[in-house]
Amino acid sequence: MSILHKIQPGLRGKLSLFMGVMLFALIGIILAIVLRLQRETLASVAEQEVSRFLRPVETLSLDVDTVVENLIRLETLRLRIEQHERDFKNEQPDYYQRYFTENHINQAEREFRRQIKAGYRDEELSEDKWEVYRSLARWFAYNPRHTPGAQDTYEIRRHALEWKIREEFDYKNRIAIAFQPLDLARYRSESITLGRMIRFDTRDAAPPEKRRSAINSFVWGQVPEFHGAMDDIHEPFQAGEPMIEPLRLQYETEQANYFLVFRTLYRNPPVSERARIVKEVLNADAPSIWKQYAIQEGEIISRLRGLAEAIRARREKLRAEDPPTPIPRDAEILKLYAEYATEIQNRRQLVDEFRIQVFEKKDPVFASKLEDLNALRDELQQLPDDATEEQKSQILERIGELKKVIDERSVSFTREDAVADAFEHMRDAALYYDVKIPYRPDQNLYQKYGNDPGLRRDLTYYRQNLREWILKPYNELYANEYRVGWGLLAMTRSEAEERMFELDTTPLRELYDQLLFENAAGFTRILMDETESRDRLIANRDRLLDTALSIGLRIIFLSFLLSGVLVAVIQRIIAGARRVGQGDLKVRFDYSGRDELGSLTESLNSMVHGLREREELRGELSAAEEIQKRLIPQGIPQSFEEYVSYGMFYKAMHGVGGDYFDFIPISRDEMAICVADVSNHGVGPALVMTLMRSHLHTILKRGEKDPYRIALELNERTYAETPENIFITLFLGIYNRKSGEMIYVSAGHNPPYVYRYKSESLETVPAGGMPIGAVDNELFSSIVKNQKAGLAAGDLFFQYTDGVNEAMNALDHLYGNERLEKILLAMGRKKPEAIIQTIASDVERFTGKALLIDGPSELNDDIAMLAFRRLK
């Protein structure tokens, strides 16, 4: 054992060995992280650089795709009109057989011709060209797509039509201009149709000398990795589950290193972006309350499905009558439509409930406003039929005021806002763009929607009015453009109704893929040559490795030399620490150096000194804290429990403190309410508070009920028994449970608040006065006086000490009365304990210091709060 002990390394050797192992491990980890981050950063920067140029080109491609799609929709509508005219050539259609006429399309054709002209050509599109495009689009009306994504006749002919439309958009020249600043010898991008045909290739826009570069020499189908990547993004689309995240791939050859990015291109962003967000949230591994929303929404979908079937059945019955009964004349079907509209409103309210849950933690005041708005909407719906116009107008006025406050906050459009918006409006947006063909398609509309509150209000207004047009079946062929927006009505009301039923009764987890599938416009493929970047990374790696090894070996050698000195000092400190651990609090640690070990010994000496003092004070402070806890009430007098609900909060910054509140029974119908704050903090003010409490209880037990005379006696005793720098702010009231009246006196304390339940307003109770113990009774008696305050049923009384409104954050900003009043006004109807808890949580969030913990708080003052509501 002695031989083994001699050859085992001591602390000095272990320190050196440990230093070496840790150093080389650290070097390896840092080197790997740096290289990985560099590689990811280079790839990300390259992708962003290409995307910056690619975005306008993708927008241009979507513009062309949208024009083609609208042409096909226009001709499909024309075909239905022609078929209807043939079917009813010799007879007059009844209510259910009415349809659009050719004039409906002719009036809109000029606007669609402007889509092609837009801002891309100066001259008007000729009649001959328009007829050519119409005739080409008409083929698709006769031959609708059967297999999206397949390279069939439909896809080939559509690709040919796109090529013709591109000439009107000056497509080729605009692509060349867009990519001119990009090094096309290192970057290559392609836009691909759903049938895997090339829309554009940047190789065609590259100068001749760059077309011969390695990246432009690739034939995609001859590289298995590239072909497989195309399959990986195309096959999910064909299966009806389009990808929403880009597909990325590293590819290396002997001469070069490439980075490939595939992504799906979607038209109609107001629909596809919302579908993408919903899919992303519901498929994420992270928990989300919106997953619970999707489950609860299923109950509404079930009811909507039943109503849709009932409407269809009733409509067919009315149609089969002789003569057919128009829908607006049948009370039963109108009632079904009204019930359907109610379920749609229930779905919106369900979204609002979940939106409130999202914002409760991040913005409790805003969440409270949303909750109040929903409550008012429910109140409006539940008004009896014989309610007066004045009752309705009062509720509508309050709804308008709340909406104004909410709209002011809604200027920003955060991620949480976008998610809630997607769950609420995805179906409405899809319905809107299926029913209306816009005259001016805008690929950036969703982005503008997020940045412009006015646009959000307008589009929401249009979508809601479109639903109203469908659910109030009084006009089959006309919807006012001022109410539903500018564009061609591509469906009759009955056709739009069927599409609405389909969207509303499809669960979210099926609907988002369906909408993404319907709005997929193709794919974008980006290839980047990272050879130069890879070479730089390798050179950086070698240089970093050489430098790190050289420095590391030197550090290990020096650490071995220095460890001997450090070990000796550490051993002495360890010996002293053992003695302290054994209970010897007279130990002193000696070290003359001014380095970290010197600081350590000073700290240890201070610690030992503090331990000695703490041992002496621990017993005294523990006893004082226990006594003070017993002085704070645990509830209200028993005779008041049926008459008031209450909440209270107390937290001292040093375990014991100078803040105080109390509920003191006087008689069966009266109790004294006291809130006081002794100047300064700690044990001294706690003793003064205890003394003052004793005097107060003695006076009350003697039968004195007049707050003014009680305050005079407390002032006389406090002035005589405490130092000059000690004074007490006091609020003392005598509350009568039957009348709700409080007679009170304020001695320099914060004015309390009263929330009026009926008017939902907040009042500040008059206060003022001179603190107790500050001056003698001759002056004190002339300043303070009795005052009165009354509480009606439901009204809330709130009093507090200045530890609340004077709480400071890291920037020395005060919490202030404005924040306090905002919470009281927003939550005035909540339970008193919930209000108190919300204020405490908000103070903790504002200051960044722990308050809702066991033991002393981290704030710079004691805090006391009480609130009670008159119940009857």
Quick: pLDDT tens for 75-89.
999 999 988 888 888
For the chain, domain boundaries: 290-519, 585-630, 632-870
Quick: pLDDT tens for 108-129.
787 777 767 654 555 667 788 8
**pLDDT surpassing 50 at residue 5:** no
Question: Do residues 262 and 247 lie in contact, with contact meaning Cβ atoms separated by under 8 Å?
Answer: yes
Task: Name the residue with higher pLDDT: 260 or 470.
Answer: 470
Q: Residue 524: enclosing H or E segment and its boundaries?
A: strand 520-529
Q: What length does the chain have?
A: 872
Query: What's residue 340's pLDDT?
Result: 96
- Per-residue pLDDT averaged across 649-657, rounded? 80
Say how far apart CA 860 and CA 213 lie, in whole Å.
Answer: 69
**pLDDT surpassing 70 at residue 401:** no
**pLDDT surpassing 90 at residue 101:** no
Q: List 200's β-bridge partners, or say none.
A: 191
Quick: pLDDT tens for 320-372.
998 999 999 999 999 999 999 999 999 998 988 888 777 766 667 666 766 77
Question: Do residues 298 and 507 lie in contact, with contact meaning Cβ atoms separated by under 8 Å?
Answer: yes
Taking domain 632-870, whether its CATH number is 3.60.40.10 is answered by yes
Query: What's residue 168's pLDDT?
Result: 74
- Residue among 40, 534, 25, 455 nearest 252 (CA): 534
Query: What's residue 822's pLDDT?
Result: 94
Reported confidence tier of residue 872, pLDDT bands at 50, 70, 90: confident
- Per-residue pLDDT averaged across 598-607, rounded? 74
Say how far apart CA 192 and CA 200 lie, in whole Å.
Answer: 7
Quick: pLDDT tens for 44-66.
665 666 566 667 777 777 888 88
Strands 728-736 and 670-678: antiparallel
Query: What's residue 816's pLDDT?
Result: 92
Q: Residue 249: enclosing H or E segment and its boundaries?
A: strand 247-252
DSSP line for 782-850: HH---EEEE--TT-EEEEE-HHHHT-B-TT--B-HHHHHHHHHHHSTTS-HHHHHHHHHHHHHHHHTS-
Task: Name the residue with higher pLDDT: 702 or 557.
Answer: 702
Quick: pLDDT tens for 823-859.
999 999 999 999 999 999 999 999 998 888 877 778 8
* Positive/negative CA dihedral, 786, 787, 791, 797: negative
Strands 796-800 and 198-201: unpaired
- Roughly how many angstroms between the first and final C-alpha of the chain, as a whole number? 86
DSSP-derived letter for residue 473 is -
- Per-residue pLDDT averaged across 861-866, rounded? 91
Range scoring the smallest mean pLDDT among 454-463, 505-514, 559-568: 559-568
Say how far apart CA 419 and CA 406 lie, in whole Å.
Answer: 17
Range scoring the smallest mean pLDDT among 37-51, 513-527, 679-693, 749-763: 37-51
Quick: pLDDT tens for 544-601.
666 767 776 776 667 666 666 666 677 777 777 777 777 676 777 776 666 666 777 7
Say how far apart CA 628 and CA 435 lie, in whole Å.
Answer: 72
Query: What's residue 228's pLDDT?
Result: 82
